[in-house]
Amino acid sequence: MKPQYQIPIQECGEPLVPIPLEQFAVESPHPYEKLGAPYGDISPYFLRQTVLAALIEAQTQLQQQHPDWRIQIFDAYRPVAVQQFMVDHTFAEVVQTQNIKLETLSDKQQQDIWQQVYQLWAQPSYNPMTPPPHSTGAAVDVTLVDATGAPLDMGSPIDELSPRSHPEYYINQPDKPYDGYRQLLRDVMCSAGFHRHLEEWWHFSLGDQMWTWLYNQENPTQKRKARYGRF
């Protein structure tokens, strides 16, 4: 079990609210909807009310430094059914990339692939004590776009299953802009109260179990409970 799932949840009951998409850059249609993810009538572009306010503040901080740049929202609220779909989709992608047939996989090979998948994706748990972060409405995947609306090159795409996804992968490569862009994204998001995922440069949260675990690591005398459970 990942350490953040040891954090107790004291659900605050705050609603999910729609993200004002005209204020941000977005990819349309949504990347997972294009793959066939089962959102039904639920929009992925929702967040908890306080989380949305913090995201708007993060963009304000960004535009104080770069007036015409914007935060691009890749993904926000994700029902558990969509989490399951994306986990299965990623497993199939790994199998295809390795050029092996699913029906010939040994138990050991399947376990190894699932281990790779769960390095990136949270397990699609319906247990109220271990919700996937995006299923709480308190996590958001973001990047930056410049004044022309073009996404900045962060050195790897969102959701890439590779070491390049680690936030500090390029820290010792000053000849490339990637680390600087990643740190700018981190700085504006964290200035608004978010914490960044330790292994994903694009994933930020506020008030969920991961955020609370990171907060408690930094403030061991001020232990908190998570505010947001599965919505």
Which residue of the set 33, 168, 200, 218 is catalytic?
200
**Is 200 tagged catalytic?**
yes
Write out the DSSP string of the chain: --GGGGS-B----PPEEE--GGGSEE-SS-HHHHHT---TT--S-EEEHHHHHHHHHHHHHHHHHSTT-EEEEEE----HHHHHHHHHHHHHHHHHHTT--GGG--HHHHHHHHHHHHHHSPP----TTS--GGGGT-EEEEEEE-TTSPBP--SS-TT--SGGGSTTTTTT-TTSSHHHHHHHHHHHHHHTT-EE-SS-TTEEESSSHHHHHHHHHH-TTS---BS----
Q: Which residues are catalytic?
A: 200
